[in-house]
Structure formats: structure tokens, C-alpha cells
């Protein structure tokens, strides 16, 4: 049977989602859990695949993975989570067709970037974001990988203010390496007045204009959702979600305390 999982994780402390030798990765932890539980023998024979990779420090609410197993009764979130660190958890599973490929079958992906918005003109960012919607060559907004096409269709960009934070949701048919984080860099450059809309239009014409962009910090980026042409009959695990909620609460408390600690480290003038 082929099984798919929805995986969430806090990417801090991991060298990305894709397995690599001698470093901690999301897939590495997942492979360890699946093999320890004898759900799979090894990733290759199980035809393990994911909906895409996330870079070091990037988080996910809904990364999709799939694999073959002859023990589907064990391939459920609450069992798998027993062998995973608290920073990674499965929260839904589904039986999928034998040829299901979470990356190739995906028709849309949604990312969210959260940043401090106090120093930017949000109106300028919203206006600039509309220029990026549609099919464009995003060669100036990615880290290139060989001869891979850099044309992508950005379906939607939504910019919202939440207190002192700004949330940028970007949805596209697929994304290039570092594309979201470089788009955020470009939007903040316009929002801070360092660049203007005319520059952004030039950036969308890489055949006549090239400029490298730094990627925005990884810690602000989360893979939120992956969509498929046919609905998948997901079975959400209430117990796994409840445990994950407790773990996330612990993270929230820790970081709120750390924020206060940082505020006291600098002597008052």
C-alpha cells in the first residue's frame, strides 16, 4: 500500500528537509523513525518522495511525503511521532494511488513569510507585490540550478499587517530555489525606498537586466500548503495534533521569555 503523510516541523537546527550525510535533516529523522518502526525497510525500496525541499532553518505546516509499506496499520501519525523529536510531527495520513508522487502531482504550493514590518511602507509593498503576480521569468529571484527553466506562475501574493509583524503569503504552481526569500528581499527593498517599481519591472526581464539578491532570513519562512488536482482523503489524527499543540506552546513560552531576556541584555541609556 502507498501511504501519504502531512508533516509539520520547526526547521531551526536542521540542515533543510532533504536528507544529507553527517548532518541533521527532516528526512533523516523521518527515515530513522520509519525504519525503526519497520514501516519501511529503506527509503529507496519504499519509493519515498516528498512534495519538495525546504532549506536550512525553514519550517513547514504541511509538507507531504509518500512511501510504500506493507504495514499500513503502523503508518499513522501517533505511531510515527513516538520515534520523532518534538520539533517534527506527522498529523494526517491517507491511502494514495500506487503511482502517487507528492512533488510531480502537486499543482500549487503556498508559503508564508513573517517579518517585522515597522520599517517598511506596506502600501508600497502591496503595490509592488501585484507586479509579480502572473507568469514571469524569475531568474533574478532565485538561485539557479543548471538549465532548469526559471519561468513560474505566481497565482497570488497577499500582504497583511498583524501588529508589528507583516505576513506575506505567496502561492504559485511551483517555486525555484530561494525564490520566496528573494521575492521578500525585493519587496522590502521597494518598501524601504531603496528601490522603486521601475527596478522591479527590470528584474522581471532577466534577458536584458541581471542583478543578484540576498535571500531573506530562513527563520521567517514556512511551507503552508500543497494542493493536488484530485482531493486526497486525509485522516487527521486528533491525538497527534493535540500533542503538537502542546509542543508548539512550549516553543512559544520559551521564545517569549527569550525576547524579554534579550531586551534586558542591553544597558539602558
Pairing state between β 221-227 and 235-236: unpaired
Find the CATH number of the domain harbouring 96: 3.30.70.580
Classify residue 103 as exposed, middle or buried by CB count within 10 Å of its CB (0-12, 13-18, 19+). middle
Q: Is residue 245 classed as helix, strand or coil in its secondary structure?
A: helix
264 falls within a domain? no
Same domain, 146 and 215: yes
Among the listed residues 22, 42, 55, 169, the single catalytic one is 55
pLDDT at 153: 97
Same domain, 45 and 99: yes
Q: Is residue 161 classed as helix, strand or coil in its secondary structure?
A: strand
pLDDT tens per residue, range 56-105? 999 999 999 999 999 999 999 999 999 999 999 999 999 999 999 999 99
DSSP symbols for 23-37:
S--HHHHHHHHHHHT
pTM given for the model: 0.94
Any catalytic annotation for residue 55? Answer: yes
Same domain, 206 and 113: yes
Q: Can you tell me the mean pLDDT for 117-132?
A: 93
H or E segment to which residue 105 belongs: none
DSSP symbols for 186-198:
HHHHHHTTSS-HH
- Is the separation of the CB atoms in 49 and 102 below 8 Å? yes
Q: Can you tell me the mean pLDDT for 122-146?
A: 95
Same domain, 118 and 185: yes
Please tell me the total count of domains within the chain.
Answer: 2
In terms of pLDDT, which residue wins out, 163 or 110? 110
Same domain, 239 and 196: no
Residue 269 binned pLDDT confidence (cut-offs 50, 70, 90): low
| Grid cell for residue 53 | 525541499
pLDDT at 267: 84
Find the CATH number of the domain harbouring 199: 3.30.70.660
Same domain, 141 and 175: yes
259 falls within a domain? no
pLDDT at 4: 98
209 falls within a domain? yes
263 falls within a domain? no
Classify residue 143 as exposed, middle or buried by CB count within 10 Å of its CB (0-12, 13-18, 19+). middle
Q: Can you tell me the mean pLDDT for 112-133?
A: 94
62 falls within a domain? yes
Same domain, 6 and 85: yes
H or E segment to which residue 201 belongs: helix 197-203
Q: Report how far residue 164's alpha carbon sits from residue 210's, in angstroms, rounded to the nearest whole number.
A: 33
Domain span at residue 181 reads 108-223
pLDDT tens per residue, range 228-243? 998 899 999 999 999 9
Quote the distance between the C-alpha of residue 204 and its chain's center.
Answer: 23
255 falls within a domain? no
Same domain, 82 and 34: yes
Same domain, 204 and 234: no
- Residue 217 has what DSSP assignment? P
pLDDT at 266: 84
Same domain, 30 and 117: no
Q: Can you tell me the mean pLDDT for 214-230?
A: 96
- The residues pairing with 89 across neighbouring beta strands, listed in sequence order, are 8
Q: What is the dihedral of CA 51, 55, 60, 65, to 10 degrees?
A: 30
261 falls within a domain? no
Tell whether the model's pLDDT for residue 179 goes beyond 70: yes
Same domain, 50 and 117: no
Is 111 annotated to bind a ligand? Reply is yes
257 falls within a domain? no
Same domain, 120 and 211: yes
pLDDT at 118: 80
Q: Quick one: what percent of the chain has pLDDT higher than 70? A: 100
Amino acid at each position: 500500500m502507498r501511504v501519504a503523510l502531512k508533516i509539520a516541523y520547526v526547521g531551526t537546527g536542521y540542515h533543510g528537509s532533504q536528507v544529507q550525510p553527517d548532518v541533521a535533516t527532516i528526512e533523516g529523522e523521518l527515515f530513522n523513525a520509519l525504519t525503526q518502526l519497520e514501516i519501511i525497510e529503506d527509503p529507496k525500496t519504499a519509493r519515498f518522495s516528498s512534495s519538495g525541499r525546504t532549506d536550512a532553518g525553514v519550517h513547514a505546516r504541511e509538507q507531504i511525503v509518500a512511501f510504500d509499506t506493507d504495514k499500513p496499520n503502523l503508518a499513522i501519525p501517533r505511531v510515527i511521532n513516538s520515534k520523532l523529536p518534538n520539533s517534527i510531527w506527522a498529523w494526517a495520513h491517507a491511502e494514495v494511488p500506487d503511482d502517487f508522487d507528492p512533488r510531480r502531482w502537486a499543482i500549487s504550493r503556498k508559503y508564508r513569510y513573517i517579518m517585522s514590518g515597522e520599517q517598511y511602507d506596506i502600501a508600497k509593498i502591496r503595490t509592488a507585490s501585484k507586479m509579480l503576480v502572473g507568469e514571469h521569468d524569475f531568474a533574478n529571484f532565485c538561485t539557479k540550478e543548471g538549465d532548469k527553466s526559471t519561468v513560474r506562475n505566481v497565482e497570488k501574493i497577499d500582504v497583511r499587517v498583524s501588529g508589528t509583524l507583516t505576513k506575506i503569503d505567496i502561492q504559485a504552481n511551483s517555486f525555484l530555489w530561494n525564490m520566496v526569500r528573494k521575492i521578500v528581499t525585493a519587496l522590502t527593498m521597494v518598501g524601504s525606498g531603496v528601490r522603486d517599481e521601475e527596478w522591479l519591472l527590470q528584474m522581471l526581464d532577466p534577458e536584458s537586466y541581471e542583478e543578484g539578491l540576498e535571500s531573506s532570513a530562513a527563520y521567517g519562512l514556512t511551507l503552508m500548503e500543497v494542493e493536488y488536482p484530485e482531493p486526497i482523503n486525509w485522516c487527521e489524527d486528533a491525538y497527534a495534533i493535540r500533542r503538537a499543540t502542546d509542543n508548539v506552546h512550549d516553543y512559544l513560552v520559551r521564545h517569549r521569555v527569550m525576547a524579554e531576556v534579550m531586551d534586558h541584555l542591553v544597558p539602558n541609556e
